[in-house]
Amino acid sequence: MRQEDLWDADAAARYDTPGTGMFAPDVLGPTVDRLVELAGDGRALEFAVGTGRVAVPLAERGVPVTGIELSRPMIERLRTKVDEETVPVVRGDMAVTAAPGTYTLVYLVFNTISNLYTQAEQVACFRNAARHLEPGGRFVIELWVPELRKLPPGQPAVVWHCEPGYLGLDTYDVLHQRAVSHHVRYDEDGQARVTLSPHRYIWPAELDLMAQLAGFELESRHADWAGAEFTADSRSHVSVYRLPA
């Protein structure tokens, strides 16, 4: 399934959850704080800007932000929050689409690089980030660590979240390094709605090699936006890559 088909009008309407989930202050606050620090006095470019979850508060903090986004419904929802002058958006594929100007920071949050379904596309995404950056500029990626250690022998799925009304599980194709996230939501009558999100998962070491191919050096890696230590048990990471000055 194509990404532009996944992120349709219905998905865009369900994406925003003000004050909860990805939009909770304890999730969004540290993200924006760190990106403000990394952008410095320069401009930021968000790959897959979506509905502006990060770009809008980042712009409100005084960082000029431009976005690249493939989904027209996501852009339309962003436009209900801010106008084109506040957060300009170029519609297109983040692996190849160019935005005008240069930037001190390009960022890609919440596992979105894994939505690119081939290794070649993911490498192209790094190279596209490098093309947009000024010397010494940074490319920041937030990405989950594949939880293959939780898979029992011969079983292709792992439940990663369970709460009243919601079940999240991933099915893995370890031969092709792919996963599908299943989001199952139940209403009060017990009726279920299932949405699927395909990914090509990336180990940190492979991500670092992609960065090297695009001319980046790893500057830091933490378990979260607040700077917690990244360990073998970390479920995700925030990796900061930098071009030579």
Domain parsing of the chain, residue ranges = 3-146+202-242, 148-197
User: 18 and 25 in contact (C-beta within 8 Å)?
Assistant: no
Cα 74 to Cα 202: distance, rounded to the nearest angstrom: 25
Identify whether the C-beta of residue 191 lies closer than 8 Å to the C-beta of residue 174.
no
Q: Which fold has domain 3-146+202-242?
A: Rossmann fold (3.40.50)
- Which pLDDT belongs to residue 4? 57
Q: How far is Cα 207 from Cα 88, in angstroms, rounded to an integer?
A: 28
pLDDT at 78 over 90: yes
pLDDT at 112 over 90: yes
pLDDT at 7 over 90: no
Confidence of residue 187 (pLDDT cuts 50, 70, 90): confident
How sure is the predictor about 239, in pLDDT bands with cuts at 50, 70 and 90? very high
Q: Reply yes or no on whether the pLDDT at 19 is more than 80.
A: no
The whole-chain average pLDDT of the chain stands at: 93
Mean pLDDT of 196-215: 96
Strands 178-186 and 236-242, by their bridges, are unpaired
pLDDT digits (tens, 9 = 90+) for 123-151: 999 999 999 999 999 999 999 999 999 89
